[in-house]
Amino acid sequence: MNIDELFDFTSFTIDREPHIVLDPEVCKSCDIRGCTNCCPARCYSWSEDDQKMTFVYDGCLECGTCYVVCHRNAFTRWRYPRGGFGVAYRMT
């Protein structure tokens, strides 16, 4: 099963209070931006033209990869969603 097929079995209950908050100013001077390649849900996108990082938490799969990959501590908040919110995997 690939990541696109996984989304077919996945639903989200989106919390209006984001569970991950990013300081985009830190990302401006980041030399690697590994998050853009490592996030399986493609929540991070860097615009070279605008020199701007955009982060959207709605489709977060809660894998924790970005927390491990970010070497600049760009998060002002990183936690799992509150109870009842976030991703729900339906594999059966």
**Using CB under 6 A, which of 63, 76, 82, 89 touches ligand SF4?**
63
Q: Are the C-beta atoms of 80 and 86 separated by less than 8 Å? A: yes
Q: Is 27 in the site for ligand SF4 (CB under 6 A)?
A: yes
Q: What is the DSSP string of 27-78?
A: HHT-S--HHHHH-TT--EEEETTTTEEEE--TT-----HHHHH-SS--EEEE
Nearer Cβ to ligand SF4 (25/84): 25
**Using CB under 6 A, which of 7, 15, 40, 45 touches ligand SF4?**
40
Report the amino acid identity of residue 81: P
- Which stretches of the chain bind ligand SF4, using CB under 6 A? 20, 22, 26-27, 30, 32-35, 39-41, 43, 53, 60-66, 69-70, 72, 74
